[in-house]
Amino acid sequence: MDRTSVDAGLLQSRYRLTKQRAAVLRALSDGMHLSAETIHARVRTNLPDVSLGTIYRTLDILRAIGLVQVFSFAGGAARYEAALAKHHHLLCSSCRSLVNVNADGLSDIARDIATQAGYTDIDCALTITGRCSTCSSPP
């Protein structure tokens, strides 16, 4: 996520780039899907007094303004990522690894299906589950 996108997103929402918000975005800058606890541990390397509650509040604000996305699945803790572009996920049912994928045209298909059923304000997020190549390889 580049600095220009972050600044534009914050300005549009009238939020300031506080040191906590900047630290959370830095913690997510490697593109990984992280739990709030992992983000907290990363942020504490630079801001040792920051609380887990502050991390959750910051993530909620960043999610509300579109700078962070949350991914939740049954049986697992929510994971967060810094991502502005809409994308979908591959989830390994064994090791729980999570990979971003683009699926061009999926939003159009979802919109057509939902519109035919009378839905409005449509959004979709596809999660494909299976076993990753590491987990499905013979020992």
Per the structure, the complete domain to which residue 70 belongs is given by 3-81
Domain identity same for 71 and 109: no
Residue where one domain finishes, among candidates 81, 96, 112 = 81
Domain identity same for 20 and 64: yes
- What is the per-residue pLDDT across 64-82, written as a single tens digit (0 to 9) for each? 888 898 888 777 789 999 8
Q: How confident is the model at residue 101 (pLDDT cuts 50, 70, 90)?
A: confident
Q: Count the domains in the chain.
A: 2
pLDDT at 16: 77
> Is 139 within the bounds of a domain?
no
> Is 106 within the bounds of a domain?
yes
Calculate mean pLDDT across residues 4-21: 67
Domain identity same for 13 and 39: yes
Q: What is the largest CA-CA distance in the chain?
A: 53
Domain identity same for 11 and 64: yes
Give CA–CA dist 27/24, Å, rounded: 5
Domain identity same for 62 and 98: no
Give CA–CA dist 63/45, Å, rounded: 23
Return the top range by mean pLDDT from 80-89, 93-102, 110-119: 110-119
Q: How confident is the model at residue 108 (pLDDT cuts 50, 70, 90)?
A: confident
For 78-132, list the strands marked E by DSSP.
Answer: 79-81, 88-92, 98-101, 127-130
DSSP annotation of 34 reads B
